[in-house]
Structure 1
Amino acid sequence: MTFRSIVLAVALLAVVLLPAVCFADEMADAYQSIKPFFDRLNNPSVSAGDRLPIIKCGTPYFLQARVLSPEYRQALGYTAGTRPYMQELSKQFDSPGGHFRIHYTDSLESRHLIDTTYGDHNSNGVPDYAEIVARIADSVWVHHIGTLGYHEPPNDGETPYGDGPRYDIFLIGLGEGLYGFTQPDEPAIVDGTHVRLTSWMALGNHYENFQGYEQRPIEAVQVTVAHEFFHAIQFWYDAKEPCTDANCTDVKQNPYWMEMSAVWMEEETYDNVNDYYGYLPYYFPYVQHSLRSFATSPPGDWKTLYCYGAGVFPIYLSQRFGKEIIKKAWEYCGEVSGSNFLESAIQAALHDVTGGQVDLPYAWTDYGRWLYFTETRTRPGQFFEEAANYKPMIPMNFELAGEMYPYIRLYSSYPIKPNQTGGYNFFPDGFGFNYLDFKTASLDSVLTFGFDGTSGNYFDWRLSVIAFDQNYPTTPVWVDAELHGDKDTFEVKNFNSYSDIIVIPTLVNPDLKFLNNQYRFSVDDTSIVITENRIAYGPSKIILSDPQESNRSLLVTVRVVEDATVDMKVYTAAAERIFSVQKHVDKNDEVPLRWFGKNDHGEEVSSGVYIVQIRVNNDDKTFKVLVIR
């Protein structure tokens, strides 16, 4: 054999083996990513007493396990096509509504021993905990299927392990921090173009040790049943939605839409529990990442909990367009093999519920605006219904490797040149957001903004523009009716009543996955030349009983020509100082100071005339204000 023949043979062998090697590596990586979950599930006593990271839902781990090779499945202890707890959980109780069969054990030797602390008050031989679970499950069935109109889960009556119309729930010892899971059965049911799966649900045999639920463990049961039963329903609409390719041949699974819509469903069912609040810290500080972001390891990392915090996206869809849009989206998911929620399903659902008036780019950029106005930025009566409780809000700064970097980029000096804007740590992935905040105090009458997506025209940039007065949270937010794109230059005018203009760049091309997309921008020099310190104030009369904040407080706005310390002091007519506040202001910047008619102890002052002194470095301004109780 010649040298050339040897080289050619080696090259051909590499072509044949490389895909297999890569596939094997992916299989091994997938196995390693879910192994800690199965270790924890199969041996809960190993980590007994430890405060383990929360695993909101075990369903994604079973979806990942079912596409692994038999060897990896066996190593995990994963058994497909069986109900592994059926023999040990030998006691059964059928729910009053006839929709569920609850499996449990009262054996003192079993780690799955049902919680008996609730007793058996009706003396029917069934622990009350099993009856409580059954009543909750019946209520969830009525809500999901009866009220919202979803299809019931596939009937497992034709499988060797199901009992037909009743859906099986097993009460097992899940260990601390794992709420529950819905395990799909094998094989799949092929119904025309739809692929469906029967399933069963596992719940914990107690929840009183769960963080935040020590005094309300039944509420943990409620949200878990609502969440997991929606997974069972999802398996009727589209069992292939988690697949990352149309034929489900790719090892990696991504059930991001399954999980975030199940979070929406639990909130829709039990609005007072608010379990999803606990996952918002894993979403709001990371909104530059794709909505598709998902991982099964390491437990407790932001990537593993991101999709649960991102449940605010279907919450937005429901509050903005009505509850029906979530069901419509799932119906359209089932029309395409593999994941297609962002690719086509949500666009079709938006078209149906709005009569074609709203498309995905509009809805997505609108959602970006809703995300901004949470916690202390909340505008009452606008955006999310529970926005004030969404903590933390999108941060101004973010820590990386022990150092703080700007997350929301803030500007108050102009012009801004393109070469000043390229250095940034948080450029958005596809379906991620950035926020640019431009202070208007030093602008004249127009903000002229130019945008340049440096990656080229392939990326589908959309820029939403809003303006508002941060000092008056009850006033409306101005929204630019036009969505701007790459290479656009546009102007924002007539912003005298607004303190901030926010530009929100995002990418809405469903074909983009997890790219980090850079851009540059510019703002022309239309700034006001500040030659002296300026102090504005109002109103001159404070009515403490007035519901409008602007009428029951004094607002002083100070704009400075150089770095300065600004003091505000309030005195009685007898020259007794009752209130003071001090702030630092950067050169050419502006600071608001507010007095709510209270003294330094937080007590409302009496009606009368008060003297207000504003000092900017060594400059003073004094004026009077009338307070009426």
Structure 2
Amino acid sequence: MFCLPVMGKDSFTAIKGYLDSKSAGKQYNSSSSTNAVSAIKSVMIHPEHREKILGKAQFSRPILDKAYISADGHFKIHYTTDGYDAVDSTSTHVHGVPDYVWETAKTAEYSYRILVDTLGFQPPPIDNYEEPEADIYIQNYVGSAYAYTYPEAAILETTNQPYDYTSYMTIDNDYKENGYNSKGLDGLHVTVAHEFFHMVQLGYNWWESNGLTGVSSSNGDAYFLEWCSVWFEERAYPEVNDYWAYLNDFFYRPTASIWANNYWYCLGPFVRFILDKYDPSENEHLLSEIWENIKTKYAFQSLTDVIAESGGNLATLYNDFMRACYYTGSRYDKDFAVSPDAVFFPELMIADINSGVLEDVLQFDVTVKPFASQPFMISFENNQYVGLETESTKKNVFIGSYLIDKPASADIHRNFRTNTDVFVGETRYNDQLMIFLTNSSKDSSYSLNLQVNKTDTLNISSKILSLYANPFSWQQQKPLTIEFQLGHFPNKLSVNIFNLRGQQVYQRLLNANDYILGVNDIRIPPQEIQSKNISSGIYILQIATDKKKIMKKFTVLN
């Protein structure tokens, strides 16, 4: 922890001294061909650790001689037109304040309408400092940081929320310096949106610590606060794209735990990816549900629980996200990419020890950090059938998937179970195989061996690889998806469901010509199962061909 013995006249003086001393915390501009240092994206210091960092100066707000209340009355903008912190006094409208002040107020109200009125977040707690409005102070950061949100007073009435606070924000007076990736009004817009979400978040809970491996006790859930604020920048001002400048830390080093310090400003796209997995018109409120849970649970647990309640799994979503992150830059494919912006993202970097050209067998031995992923890249010199096997020291902890980038045809995407052999299928000399393995444990690192090999199609086994959702409920309106592997080309194929008494309760006959040697999938619409009046209980799902019957238990909850 960096300690700053500064006794400045107000918190801003102390923060400026802290930033000037903390050069290691500054970001490098990934959109520049030089190593120009970018401003720190956002500064927040937890109140439980603030005095160690800022000294006693923390107890005084900035003093500025002018103020303006926004049109809808939610914000008070503090500013000056004289001295070091002066804003440009140019005024081209009828509101009687400088244009920059007017734009600040307008941006804050726009952010309020989206977060509070549209997405259902609660407004920031009222601080009753002079008046009830949320306070924004305009000062001169000279390119060292975009802004600072200051958690001020603990809210004593909410006894079940130990770390909720009133707050205010300070922003730069022009965003003109070279340290800013987004300058002028673009910089102002994304910064006010970003920091206002922090003010909202502080009314829920900013846990001081969260028990996650490798997280400093002074940071707690800061990683999730920053993910969400970066996501909201893009939600409010999609044309600015300031977040592009911070993506290198993830795409060039994609193997850290998702809460790692250098991912704070990189994983706003992961928040979008999670929301896009559901119908955005209905489930953008998923994020406000997560924040409601954060009132009483750590961010990671809240995120895990709310996604599970929606029929998902956080580790699987992160594995899917990693796979989608392959499609950036020159690899961009709109059908698989994280977002349309991904064409401008850096390309996912694969370490040399995780890549190779398949001649006969490739072996990789890795240790995967808690809730982290390892990507692997396999190239080919010939046409062949390919299989893979994984073995780990801990069973059922890894989530696996692969994609085959096929220049001449549609790409192939599959999930697979680890600690088993998997038939990938035929690959061509110019294909590229990407494998993604995610450690679903938040507590421990685990070792894993991955083997990729040429295979004889005669040795492929028939088995059900995965069945989800399990438990299944037709009320969730999501299909029952079966991924299975066939060791032969079928002449007949059906899906059957039996109860534990051996009675058949469902059957679907399929066109065997639609299914191949290797990995296949079937999706049963929820209304089909509903129409059969299948009650809650444990059932056996069977895939039957003319040569083989493969089965797996699953649970129905209605």
Q: Answer yes or no: same fold by TM over 0.5.
A: yes
Deviation string for 1:566-594 (max 9, x for gaps)?
Answer: xxxxxxxxxxxxxxxxxxxxxxxxxxxxx
Deviation string for 1:207-230 (max 9, x for gaps)?
Answer: 12245667x510100000110000
Q: Give 1:309's match in structure 2, choosing from 266, 272, 282.
A: 266
The answer as to 2:12 corresponding to 1:31 is no
CA-CA distance at 1:370 after TM superposition:
0.9
Instruction: Give the whole-Å Cα distance in 2 for the aligned partners of 1:46 and 1:289.
Output: 27
* 2:124 aligned partner: 153
CA-CA distance at 1:276 after TM superposition:
0.4
* 1:434 aligned partner: 374
Q: Are the structure 2 counterparts of residues 489 and 233 from structure 1 closer, same or farther at C-alpha, using a change threshold of 3 Å?
A: same
Q: Name the SS of the counterpart of 1:185 in structure 2.
A: strand
CA-CA distance at 1:154 after TM superposition:
0.9
The answer as to 2:368 corresponding to 1:410 is no
Q: Name the SS of the counterpart of 2:168 in structure 1.
A: strand
8 Å CA contact retained: 2:384, 2:426: no
Instruction: Give the whole-Å Cα distance in 1 for the aligned partners of 2:358 and 2:246.
Output: 33
The answer as to 2:267 corresponding to 1:267 is no
Deviation string for 1:459-503 (max 9, x for gaps)?
Answer: 82221122230x24xx543222x4322x32222225569823322
Deviation string for 1:514-564 (max 9, x for gaps)?
Answer: x4x432222344389xxxxxxxxxxxxxxxxxxxxxxxxxxxxxxxxxxxx
Q: CA RMSD in A?
A: 3.3
* 1:200 aligned partner: 168
Q: Give 1:329's match in structure 2, choosing from 290, 301, 306.
A: 290
CA-CA distance at 1:508 after TM superposition:
1.3
Instruction: Give the whole-Å Cα distance in 2 for the aligned partners of 1:212 and 1:74.
Output: 24
CA-CA distance at 1:410 after TM superposition:
2.6
Instruction: Give the whole-Å Cα distance in 1 for the aligned partners of 2:95 and 2:318.
Output: 53
Q: Are the structure 2 counterparts of residues 205 and 499 from structure 1 closer, same or farther at C-alpha, using a change threshold of 3 Å?
A: same
* 1:394 aligned partner: 348
Instruction: Give the whole-Å Cα distance in 1 for the aligned partners of 2:357 and 2:399.
Output: 21
The correspondence of residues 197-236 of structure 1 with structure 2, limited to 5 A, is 197-211=165-179, 216-236=183-203
Q: Give 1:511's match in structure 2, choosing from 443, 446, 471.
A: 443
Instruction: Give the whole-Å Cα distance in 1 for the aligned partners of 2:6 and 2:267.
Output: 21
Instruction: Mark the runs of 5 or more structure 1 residues left unpaired by the alignment.
Output: 1-28, 295-302, 398-405, 529-629
8 Å CA contact retained: 2:143, 2:180: no
The answer as to 2:438 corresponding to 1:483 is no
Q: Are the structure 2 counterparts of residues 33 and 524 from structure 1 closer, same or farther at C-alpha, using a change threshold of 3 Å?
A: farther
Q: Name the SS of the counterpart of 2:136 in structure 1.
A: strand
Q: Are the structure 2 counterparts of residues 124 and 181 from structure 1 closer, same or farther at C-alpha, using a change threshold of 3 Å?
A: same
8 Å CA contact retained: 1:227, 1:263: yes
Residue identity matched to 1:244: N
8 Å CA contact retained: 2:315, 2:438: no
Q: Name the SS of the counterpart of 2:206 in structure 1.
A: coil
Instruction: Give the whole-Å Cα distance in 1 for the aligned partners of 2:224 and 2:21.
Output: 32
Instruction: Give the whole-Å Cα distance in 2 for the aligned partners of 1:523 and 1:120.
Output: 66
* 2:92 aligned partner: 121
Deviation string for 1:372-412 (max 9, x for gaps)?
Answer: 11111111232322254343211245xxxxxxxx1651332
The correspondence of residues 463-612 of structure 1 with structure 2, limited to 5 A, is 463-469=400-406, 471-472=407-408, 475-480=409-414, 482-485=415-418, 487-495=419-427, 499-512=431-444, 515=445, 517-526=446-455
Q: Name the SS of the counterpart of 1:518 in structure 2.
A: strand
Identity level (%): 20
* 2:67 aligned partner: 92
Q: Are the structure 2 counterparts of residues 256 and 210 from structure 1 closer, same or farther at C-alpha, using a change threshold of 3 Å?
A: same
Instruction: Give the whole-Å Cα distance in 2 for the aligned partners of 1:74 and 1:394.
Output: 38
* 2:521 aligned partner: none
CA-CA distance at 1:443 after TM superposition:
5.0
8 Å CA contact retained: 1:100, 1:137: yes
CA-CA distance at 1:46 after TM superposition:
10
* 2:473 aligned partner: none
Q: Are the structure 2 counterparts of residues 331 and 439 from structure 1 closer, same or farther at C-alpha, using a change threshold of 3 Å?
A: same
Instruction: Give the whole-Å Cα distance in 2 for the aligned partners of 1:439 and 1:382.
Output: 20
CA-CA distance at 1:42 after TM superposition:
4.1
8 Å CA contact retained: 1:230, 1:262: yes
Instruction: Give the whole-Å Cα distance in 1 for the aligned partners of 2:74 and 2:355.
Output: 53
Deviation string for 1:19-47 (max 9, x for gaps)?
Answer: xxxxxxxxxx3437999x97661499999
Q: Are the structure 2 counterparts of residues 252 and 46 from structure 1 closer, same or farther at C-alpha, using a change threshold of 3 Å?
A: closer
Q: Give 2:58's match in structure 1, choosing from 63, 73, 79.
A: 79
Q: Give 1:137's match in structure 2, choosing from 69, 89, 108.
A: 108
Between Structure 1 and Structure 2, the one with more strand by share is 2
Residue identity matched to 1:341: A
Instruction: Give the whole-Å Cα distance in 1 for the aligned partners of 2:54 and 2:181.
Output: 34
Q: Are the structure 2 counterparts of residues 493 and 52 from structure 1 closer, same or farther at C-alpha, using a change threshold of 3 Å?
A: closer
* 1:452 aligned partner: 391
Q: Name the SS of the counterpart of 1:237 in structure 2.
A: coil
Instruction: Give the whole-Å Cα distance in 1 for the aligned partners of 2:88 and 2:247.
Output: 31
CA-CA distance at 1:67 after TM superposition:
1.9
Deviation string for 1:260-298 (max 9, x for gaps)?
Answer: 11100110100000000001112111110111111xxxx
Q: Give 2:42's match in structure 1, choosing from 36, 49, 57.
A: 57
Q: Give 1:361's match in structure 2, choosing from 294, 302, 315.
A: 315
Instruction: Give the whole-Å Cα distance in 1 for the aligned partners of 2:286 and 2:222.
Output: 19
The answer as to 2:131 corresponding to 1:163 is yes
Instruction: Give the whole-Å Cα distance in 2 for the aligned partners of 1:478 and 1:179.
Output: 42
Deviating more after overlay: 283-292 vs 376-385:
376-385
Q: Are the structure 2 counterparts of residues 479 and 105 from structure 1 closer, same or farther at C-alpha, using a change threshold of 3 Å?
A: same
Q: Give 2:81's match in structure 1, choosing from 97, 106, 111.
A: 106
Instruction: Give the whole-Å Cα distance in 1 for the aligned partners of 2:67 and 2:126.
Output: 19
CA-CA distance at 1:359 after TM superposition:
1.7
Deviating more after overlay: 360-369 vs 519-528:
519-528
Residue identity matched to 2:307: L
Instruction: Give the whole-Å Cα distance in 2 for the aligned partners of 1:361 and 1:74.
Output: 38
CA-CA distance at 1:144 after TM superposition:
1.3
Residue identity matched to 1:317: I
CA-CA distance at 1:93 after TM superposition:
0.4
Residue identity matched to 1:54: A
CA-CA distance at 1:197 after TM superposition:
0.8
* 2:303 aligned partner: 346
Q: Give 2:325's match in structure 1, choosing from 366, 371, 389.
A: 371
Instruction: Give the whole-Å Cα distance in 2 for the aligned partners of 1:93 and 1:177.
Output: 26
Deviation string for 1:85-104 (max 9, x for gaps)?
Answer: 1xx30211000111100001
Q: Name the SS of the counterpart of 2:417 in structure 1.
A: coil
Residue identity matched to 1:31: C
8 Å CA contact retained: 2:43, 2:147: yes
Residue identity matched to 1:389: V
CA-CA distance at 1:313 after TM superposition:
1.0
Residue identity matched to 2:448: Y
8 Å CA contact retained: 1:103, 1:171: yes
Instruction: Give the whole-Å Cα distance in 1 for the aligned partners of 2:6 and 2:360.
Output: 51
Instruction: Give the whole-Å Cα distance in 2 for the aligned partners of 1:508 and 1:45.
Output: 39
Residue identity matched to 1:520: N
Instruction: Give the whole-Å Cα distance in 1 for the aligned partners of 2:381 and 2:388.
Output: 16
